[in-house]
Amino acid sequence: MALDYDHLMATSVVDLPLSYRDTETMLYALSIGFGRDPLDRRELPYVSEFEGPPSTMPSMATVLVPDMFPPDLGWDFSQVLHAEQRMQLHRPLPPAADLLINKHISAVYDRGPKLGAVVMFEAEGRLAKDDTVIFTIGNTVIARGDGGFGGANGRGPKPHRAPRREPDLSCDISTRLDQALLYRLTGDRNPLHADPALAKSVGFGVPILHGLCTYGIACHAILKTICNYDSTLITSMDARFSAPVLPGDTITTDMWQDGNIVSFECSVKERGVRVVRNGKCTLVA
């Protein structure tokens, strides 16, 4: 069944209530590699409340919108690929909050039967108590089985390009064999990340890591290497996913800093594959 452009563009949710507490904040930090050394006092504020309310990772905004791209949009969800992630923080995320979420489809492009459809989603989170906007996030999704529905061609925003020089900084963060099982507790229960039989049926030897977990680990690397663990310095972060990560891989984040712009790419050197491209992180000017 072909995608219905008008139906997709009319798809929206307004004032969806969502609450999170410090338990979710600390769980998210654990799920992207914080606390591996429980004596590291730089990371303890993100995974404990001993010195006051926990610090909140900026990238946690990406897990605060339920069903960002839901399975029931008339597409072949088994062929859906999360291609890009965008995030802007209008102010630092609190360690706990009651939110109202708005989300909608902002664009749909038809790249033909071979390349699929490109669907772009946008969402914002506001504090329920005073309607203050906290974050805006965007996703680009490729529906590989749904091209050729008769829509306009297009690709979305032009990707950011890293400088043509050797990286200024690099950071290695290892993932655990159970990393996907831990990360899925932040909200994404897609069985591709937990069911070995399903993963094998679609061409993977093992359940793969969530793309947004890799995204969070890249944010962790920037926070650790450039921001000296000050989460309030990060105001936006965009990236393009280019290959899956397998639990147990070590993710190397290469960084180029030009003023308040950090360009970044992630790779798994053990397997010789680049997993994140076109990364751009904006810091407080």
Q: Which residues are catalytic?
A: 188, 193
Contact by Cβ (8 Å): 120, 138: yes
